[in-house]
Structure 1
Amino acid sequence: MKTIRKQADMSIKNITKWNKMTIKNSYMFRLVMEKNNLCKPLIERILGIKIKSLSYVEAEKSFEAKLKTKGIRLDLFVIDEDGVAYDIEMQMDNSYKQFLGKRSRYYVSLMDNGALKKDEPYSHLRKSYVIFICTFDPFGKGLAKYTFNAICNEDHSLVLDDGVTRVFINTEGDRHKISKELANLIGYISTGKVTDDYTRQLDEEVRELRNDTGKGVSYMTYMQTMMEHENIGFDKGISQANRETAIIMLQNNEPLNKIAMYSRLTMEQINELAASLHRVH
């Protein structure tokens, strides 16, 4: 534990200072988007739709799966007046971008978990959007926006009406083929440049939060906990590569015996790592 604490203390020095924080940081993003008047236009700009109003907004919404399956904590979970659900994630780390597709699939499955009461028809299943705002190109095609729906391989004009849409925003992508409003939004996320009234509101909220000492203290406490989680296992002789392999496979709900084979960790080490992941997420 002393080793973990020492490494966490060293790593904490590299954390972005609260008074330098931007909306790209997921912690700041969640605080800003807890306000309905800022969250609603964000969704509208990304999806190109109009929403009557938001009835529910929760930052770091936890979904606990049944039995021993992996629970999740969403950056931002929103339900609008019509019952449509939105999960919005700010993603700066591109280390595991090849797993974003499967991650979004799992998020949808747990968002739907328990959504229908016994004997309730499938037609009552709510429409859902999973939105990842990435500060990198998740698919390497240079697009600013990637939208995915289930389509028929034999006839691409046939879309499966399952009510699920997954959107990945690339803040560094080509903005010529998207709306001006969305281009302004991702331009602000990428550079901090204010170009319209909405981005001005976002910037004012970010600046106000940065001046809140209490929020800064909460952020540092949160990051200290995260650092301890990230360094779990080093004092037990687990290599960085093996630990990361185990974390990725745990996040993708792989069988424990398979994780042990590929990561070379013992079952005890894997269970300890899984427990630490559950505590943080």
Structure 2
Amino acid sequence: MTITSDPMFGLVMQNKEICLELINRALPNIKAKQIIQLDTQKDINIVSAHRVRFDVYVRDDKNNIIVIEMQVNNQNNIPARLRYYQEQVDHELLRPGDNYSVLNNYPTYIIMFCNFDYFKQGWARYEFNLTCTRDHNLKFGDNRTVVIFNALAKKFDKNDEPIKNFLALMRNQGDNKNRFIAQIQGEIDKVKQDPERRDGFMKYELNLMDAKMEVREEDIKKLIDSLYELNIKPEIIKQKVMEKYNLTDDEYDKFLE
């Protein structure tokens, strides 16, 4: 199991020191000094709206809101997906009766680490914010930034150097002589050796599935795959999942095919 695994990425990012350094490497201009709020697998559940769960949700000492996502499979929907993510972040920040100007206090950054090159330009970093089409120096000023990283990049500029080793780690080519990469690898080893953290993740996932209005077969399959990635004993996974969803042995075994 590597850093690109959804459960592993979230568990590693629970280490505030690692999470803060990754943010500053991805967004060197914000110079975050402290994480005030850190949530992993943060569930945004607005009534009558599509449910969203962020891998990592952070508020730093300057009230920057940073959402970090790890994406392995290209589902060809990143712009639309991140548009919706931004809307959900704003819903979380703006309370009933608040003036829209409250959002000015919370610059938002949506970061997505991809194991593929979505825009096919070969760049390591694709950074977007709203500007005027007539004059690109004229900023819209909504304090929203989207940054998409490409782990397969061949082109790096000087601003990409701090994140270069992390992108290599996503390809399983991390340099363990690099202090930051060694720290991440050490945290991965801790997670693998800590049954309490793995079991905590399993309980969280099972409870989250219970909260859904309808549990689909692909949801159960994804859950089982995630728990296997955490090296939880197969017999424990089978027992818990069968109990939760009243599955027979044959029904459970079909999810392993």
Please tell me whether residue 182 in structure 1 is matched to residue 163 in structure 2.
yes
> Deviations 1:166-193 (Å, cap 9, x if unpaired)?
1101111125314322112211222242
Contact 2:132 2:138 in 1 (8 A): yes
C-alpha deviation, 1:229, in angstroms:
3.6
Q: Which whole-Å CA distance do the structure 1 matches of 2:202 and 2:37 have between them?
A: 27
Q: Which whole-Å CA distance do the structure 2 matches of 1:231 and 1:119 have between them?
A: 39
C-alpha deviation, 1:47, in angstroms:
1.1
Q: Which whole-Å CA distance do the structure 2 matches of 1:51 and 1:69 have between them?
A: 32
- 2:218 matched residue in structure 1: 231
- 1:75 matched residue in structure 2: 55
1:203-218 to 2 correspondence within 5 Å?
Answer: 203-216=185-198
Please tell me whether residue 91 in structure 1 is matched to residue 89 in structure 2.
no
Equivalent position amino acid for 1:181 in 2: P
TM-score, with structure 1 as normaliser: 0.67
Please tell me whether residue 196 in structure 1 is matched to residue 178 in structure 2.
yes
Q: Which whole-Å CA distance do the structure 1 matches of 2:65 and 2:199 have between them?
A: 31
Please tell me whether residue 149 in structure 1 is matched to residue 129 in structure 2.
yes
- 2:8 matched residue in structure 1: 28
- 1:58 matched residue in structure 2: 39
Q: Which whole-Å CA distance do the structure 2 matches of 1:56 and 1:90 have between them?
A: 19
Q: Which whole-Å CA distance do the structure 2 matches of 1:110 and 1:23 have between them?
A: 26
- 2:227 matched residue in structure 1: none
Q: Closer, same or farther in 2 for the Cα pair 1:217/1:65, shift >3 Å?
A: closer
Q: Which whole-Å CA distance do the structure 2 matches of 1:167 and 1:28 have between them?
A: 21
1:109 to 72, 82, 87: 87
Q: What secondary structure is seen at the aligned counterpart in 2 of 1:78?
A: strand
Unaligned runs of 5+ in 2: 210-214, 220-257
Contact 1:175 1:183 in 2 (8 A): no
> Deviations 1:122-161 (Å, cap 9, x if unpaired)?
3321110111100111111111110010121122222211
Q: Which whole-Å CA distance do the structure 1 matches of 2:84 and 2:192 have between them?
A: 33
C-alpha deviation, 1:42, in angstroms:
0.3
Q: Which whole-Å CA distance do the structure 2 matches of 1:163 and 1:27 have between them?
A: 30
Q: Closer, same or farther in 2 for the Cα pair 1:113/1:216, shift >3 Å?
A: closer
Q: Which whole-Å CA distance do the structure 2 matches of 1:39 and 1:56 have between them?
A: 11
Q: What secondary structure is seen at the aligned counterpart in 2 of 1:231?
A: helix
TM-score, with structure 2 as normaliser: 0.73
Contact 1:132 1:167 in 2 (8 A): yes
C-alpha deviation, 1:101, in angstroms:
0.6
Percent sequence identity is 29
Q: Closer, same or farther in 2 for the Cα pair 1:192/1:212, shift >3 Å?
A: farther
Q: Closer, same or farther in 2 for the Cα pair 1:159/1:204, shift >3 Å?
A: same
C-alpha deviation, 1:195, in angstroms:
4.3
Q: Closer, same or farther in 2 for the Cα pair 1:216/1:69, shift >3 Å?
A: closer
Cα RMSD, aligned residues only: 2.4
Q: Which whole-Å CA distance do the structure 2 matches of 1:60 and 1:44 have between them?
A: 21
Q: Which whole-Å CA distance do the structure 1 matches of 2:177 and 2:153 have between them?
A: 18
Relative contact order (C-alpha < 8 Å, sep 6+): which is higher? 1
1:265-280 to 2 correspondence within 5 Å?
Answer: none
Q: Closer, same or farther in 2 for the Cα pair 1:213/1:105, shift >3 Å?
A: same
> Deviations 1:87-120 (Å, cap 9, x if unpaired)?
10000011x1x21111111111111115234554
1:6-25 to 2 correspondence within 5 Å?
Answer: 21-25=1-5
